[in-house]
A and B are shown apart, each in its own frame.
Chain A
């Protein structure tokens, strides 16, 4: 089955991943252009593209720093993993919305890909 690929709003991503938002006033109309999934922040810095939604299992503050530096629109933690308070605080400060999905990293990435959100190098 052919699926049209393209940007996806945070609202739709949240809905499709059954995710909860853990930062205040998420800008749900914001669009992610691509998806990026890794627990290795150097990979996100190397292969990520601007306006990506970052899916990861890593909940340390460095995830938020990475999202900030790499121009990600939002971060979604997989495996239902709740980040520590310092991560949330940093995200609130730098305006990066955070979500938590009960899905595994593989399943969350697969679901968004299937719905038409492209991976990073594909939009070049």
Chain B
């Protein structure tokens, strides 16, 4: 596999696939007549931050946690969703190519787009960035299987490239506070490293490291990114965030020390094991942090076994 080829394949996919193939079809909706004080429970039990408002299947608006907070701050007089909701909603038709969804999500900086059926003009689903990525990865995987491609052994892969030094790199963005997406980067990277034919032990340790680092970014920072580079002998990883920074690194490294909120602990993380776990998995470990600016973590893994 060649990186350029993969990019081309991905580019083709965003044009070939339609929104319908990626969207979530079972959508939670509310009626405009719903009393505002009933809204938090619906959002909370579905773990969503916004919900489309429909009347006879027709989309009439969208109501988000932000709208709720604004309403509550403004006296919270008894009202229904219809009075408070945002009426102007960015939408997309189910038969449009995925690339339109990607650009619209980007342009309007929204987390989700309600999807409409073009013939009936009713709500058909909802699409998020996560849906797009999942659908594209799923389709890439099907392609690989159909073509009967075997995973390369990493050593062979590098031997096949004629250059003085070769380095492959992958980058992943992490959105802070996107708790439900926690683990997506780890899952994607694991698939990629496996596909490159790396030794399962190295793959596992790299995936665990990214999972913990990813959760840290999600818990504490607004945004972050993971850069992974691979040469013939090492996997190096840099995880950067624009978070609050760590005032006392020694304390943060102590197993069990944590400042994570309860909502994260409910998901099985935030118990102060993240950094110690990462240190245990990686062969080299460096962390730099500036309070108010962010944290940078650098780790690496040797692939001697994988290349044997």
**Chain A interface (Cβ < 8 Å from any Cβ of B):** 39-43, 45-46, 50, 56, 58, 60-63, 65-66, 68-71, 85-86, 93-94
Q: 10 closest A-B pairs (Cβ-Cβ)?
A: A65-B183, A42-B273, A41-B268, A69-B207, A58-B268, A45-B208, A46-B277, A62-B267, A60-B267, A69-B211
B212 CB–A CB distance under 8 Å: yes
A39-B268 contact given A45-B211, A71-B204, CB 8 Å threshold: yes
B80 CB–A CB distance under 8 Å: no
Cβ–Cβ contact A65 & B271, under 8 A: no
B52 CB–A CB distance under 8 Å: no
Please name 8 further chain A to chain B contacts, defined as beta carbons within 8 Å, in addition to the given A40-B271, A50-B204, sorted by A numbering.
A40-B273, A41-B267, A42-B212, A43-B273, A45-B211, A65-B183, A70-B208, A93-B138
B187 CB–A CB distance under 8 Å: yes
B221 CB–A CB distance under 8 Å: no
Cβ–Cβ contact B204 & A62, under 8 A: no
A40-B183 contact given A46-B273, A46-B277, A65-B211, CB 8 Å threshold: no
A66-B211 contact given A40-B268, A46-B273, CB 8 Å threshold: yes
B114 CB–A CB distance under 8 Å: no
Q: Return chain A residues, CB-CB under 8 Å to B26.
A: 85
Q: Return chain B residues, CB-CB under 8 Å to A40.
A: 268-269, 271, 273
Q: For the complex, what is the distance from the CA of A70 to the CA of B212, rounded to whole Å?
A: 12
Cβ–Cβ contact A69 & B208, under 8 A: yes
**Among A41, A50, A61, residue most surrounded by chain B Cβ atoms (within 10 Å):** A41
**What are 11 of the A-B contact pairs (CB < 8 Å)?**
A42-B212, A42-B273, A46-B280, A50-B204, A56-B268, A58-B268, A62-B267, A65-B184, A66-B211, A69-B211, A70-B204
Q: Return chain B residues, CB-CB under 8 Å to A43.
A: 271, 273
Cβ–Cβ contact B268 & A42, under 8 A: yes
Nearest-neighbour CB distance to chain B for A98, whole angstroms, equals: 15
Q: For the complex, what is the distance from the CA of A59 to the CA of B202, rounded to whole Å?
A: 28
Q: For the complex, what is the distance from the CA of A69 to the CA of B214, rounded to whole Å?
A: 13
Nearest-neighbour CB distance to chain B for A79, whole angstroms, equals: 15
Nearest-neighbour CB distance to chain A for B113, whole angstroms, equals: 19
**Closest A residue, CB atoms, query B277:** A46
Q: For the complex, what is the distance from the CA of A43 to the CA of B255, rounded to whole Å?
A: 11
B125 CB–A CB distance under 8 Å: no
Q: Return chain A residues, CB-CB under 8 Å to B182.
A: 62, 65
**Closest A residue, CB atoms, query B272:** A42
Chain B residues 173 to 207 lying within 8 A of chain A, measured CB to CB, are 180, 182-184, 186-187, 190, 200, 204, 207
B61 CB–A CB distance under 8 Å: no
Q: For the complex, what is the distance from the CA of A62 to the CA of B267, rounded to whole Å?
A: 7
